[in-house]
Structure 1
């Protein structure tokens, strides 16, 4: 079985739609809405085709492909910048310290503040791996290919990258955080609001959400318990992000309370460890198992490969990886430790 990550194409729509239906809801970047997905693929094609080497609100949509079986088994996305055409809202958990001289007591209360602090950041998101392929490290290939793409197209991305993780929901798809806070102002269930947001964006939040800070102590225990916590299915994704040096800085999603983590592009581990090599020869095997990538924009591809480093600037790569990347001896590729 040989997988590679490559840019999505219109012909991938049916497979992407089938995966969207498997998410179980709460995946704003991968809604099970045919019209939205068609628009995403079209927007992605336009972004890949753009010749402008500057940061914009581009969307780059990728798929995990098994070319031999002609199967699409995963997807992920990268956004050039958030907040370019509409506000990007988050709650930031802050602490307000108050002291009563008469009581001789100091109280520290957490508050939720509606903010657009993260506007201008790039974003990685929309990662979904088919349940039948959740072994073999393919999720890591999907996730880390995005950082190799960012590094290869550095001018198209900002200095900070964020990732939003889906928050905790019950088996019916309802969010304790939404029910305790935003749901009281919108007259919508969480599934209804999540679906509306996926199609129409977050302007309705700006229109109706209270701008004043919310005292966390006023929320029920069920909502407080899930603030900043990922959905159980997202814990592995959070660990991968943490291994890449993403950190939680008290920003949470305004819908489900899930954590938003951020990292400086230059601190992302895969980018820091990435090396460029000229393909010197095609080898049967190599001494290092690495994630490798090659190509720009629509020609970009990433996979796992066996690399034998020859000198500072050249290396051998196994035939399977060479074929998946579509490169020939003399061309360059990039590699980072697996």
Structure 2
């Protein structure tokens, strides 16, 4: 079987919707709501068609397609600039130290502060791979294809890129962090708030969330224990992000407490190491790589065994067919 990354179109609504129903909740960027997903695909179509030369409120959606049967089995997203339509909120975890001379004691307390520090950054997210395809490095293909897309369209992205990982969700679909913090101010369950945010945006957070710092020691043990901890299904994603150069800098999601990972765009490994080359011929090589071609709506990406020559690179006929190219084409590639 062969797989290829391509740009999503409005015709992909049904398979993306079917995947959204499998997420189990907590995927704000992939809500199981047809109307919301249709709007996202329309926005992506406008972003792919735009000729902007700087970061904007863009949304780019990519899908992983089985080239043999044209079935969509995965998806991922890129956001050009967060915080444009409504504020981009995070909790920042920090320390506050106080001393008492009379008691001869110093206390250091951890506090959560509501912040918009990350506004203006670009974001990678919305990654979901069908459970039946979680083998053979397809998750990595989905994840890293986004960085080749960024490298190809560098001016459309900020100097910082963030990735929000889903936090811990219990067997009932609830969030210990939400129950211990925000849930007390909103009168709704985590699932209700998550669905509302995915469909209507997070202005309600600005309206109702307390603006003063929250002392972590006053939270329940259940809430404290999951701050900055990814969902079990997101641990591999966190490791992949760390390999690319992302780091956890004490910012967490306001809904489920999951960690927000941050990287300098030009220091992301797959962006920094991406090389442009001409396809000099059709021949399988001995270097396993990810190869991309095209810009915006014409972007495609797949795995390929390439050969590196003085004239450029060679790649197999299968990879050339997946990318829809012939010798003489310009590609962007990075070693796997």
Asked if TM exceeds 0.5, the reply is yes
Hey, what does 2:9 align to over in structure 1? 9
Q: Provide the C-alpha distance between the structure 1 equivalents of 2:325 and 2:80, rounded to a whole number of angstroms.
A: 27
Measured against aligned partners, the alpha-carbon deviations of 1:182-221 in whole angstroms (never above 9, x if no partner) come to: 0000000000000000011110000000000000000011
Hey, what does 1:277 align to over in structure 2? 277
Hey, what does 2:318 align to over in structure 1? 320
Deviation of 1:328 after TM superposition, in Å, equals 1.6
Q: Which runs of 5+ in 2 are unaligned?
A: none
Hey, what does 1:286 align to over in structure 2? 285
Measured against aligned partners, the alpha-carbon deviations of 1:117-143 in whole angstroms (never above 9, x if no partner) come to: 000000000000000000000000000
Q: Provide the C-alpha distance between the structure 1 equivalents of 2:95 and 2:51, rounded to a whole number of angstroms.
A: 45
Hey, what does 2:149 align to over in structure 1? 149
User: What's the secondary structure of 2:303's corresponding residue?
Assistant: strand
Matched, 1:329 2:322: no
Hey, what does 2:105 align to over in structure 1? 105
User: What's the secondary structure of 1:223's corresponding residue?
Assistant: helix
- Count, aligned residues: 336
User: What's the secondary structure of 2:21's corresponding residue?
Assistant: helix
Deviation of 1:331 after TM superposition, in Å, equals 1.2
User: What's the secondary structure of 2:276's corresponding residue?
Assistant: strand
Hey, what does 1:231 align to over in structure 2? 231
Deviation of 1:317 after TM superposition, in Å, equals 1.1
Deviation of 1:68 after TM superposition, in Å, equals 1.4
Q: Provide the C-alpha distance between the structure 2 equivalents of 1:223 and 1:243, rounded to a whole number of angstroms.
A: 28
| 1:52-131 mapped onto 2 (5 Å cutoff) | 52-131=52-131
Hey, what does 1:51 align to over in structure 2? 51
Compute the RMSD of aligned alpha carbons. Answer: 0.7
Moved over 3 A (4+): none
Hey, what does 1:302 align to over in structure 2? 301
Q: Provide the C-alpha distance between the structure 2 equivalents of 1:207 and 1:191, rounded to a whole number of angstroms.
A: 19
Q: Provide the C-alpha distance between the structure 2 equivalents of 1:293 and 1:8, rounded to a whole number of angstroms.
A: 15
Q: Provide the C-alpha distance between the structure 2 equivalents of 1:146 and 1:70, rounded to a whole number of angstroms.
A: 21
Q: Provide the C-alpha distance between the structure 2 equivalents of 1:45 and 1:148, rounded to a whole number of angstroms.
A: 19
Measured against aligned partners, the alpha-carbon deviations of 1:90-129 in whole angstroms (never above 9, x if no partner) come to: 0000100111111101101000000000000000000000
Q: Provide the C-alpha distance between the structure 2 equivalents of 1:100 and 1:52, rounded to a whole number of angstroms.
A: 56
Deviation of 1:275 after TM superposition, in Å, equals 0.8
Q: Provide the C-alpha distance between the structure 1 equivalents of 2:252 and 2:259, rounded to a whole number of angstroms.
A: 5
Hey, what does 1:23 align to over in structure 2? 23
Q: Provide the C-alpha distance between the structure 2 equivalents of 1:223 and 1:214, rounded to a whole number of angstroms.
A: 12
User: What's the secondary structure of 1:61's corresponding residue?
Assistant: strand
| 1:164-313 mapped onto 2 (5 Å cutoff) | 164-283=164-283, 285-311=284-310
User: What TM-score results when the alignment is normalised by the length of structure 2?
Assistant: 0.99
User: What's the secondary structure of 1:91's corresponding residue?
Assistant: strand
Measured against aligned partners, the alpha-carbon deviations of 1:18-50 in whole angstroms (never above 9, x if no partner) come to: 000000000000000000000000000000011
Deviation of 1:67 after TM superposition, in Å, equals 2.2
Q: Provide the C-alpha distance between the structure 1 equivalents of 2:88 and 2:10, rounded to a whole number of angstroms.
A: 28
Deviation of 1:315 after TM superposition, in Å, equals 1.0
Hey, what does 1:136 align to over in structure 2? 136
Q: Provide the C-alpha distance between the structure 2 equivalents of 1:67 and 1:8, rounded to a whole number of angstroms.
A: 14
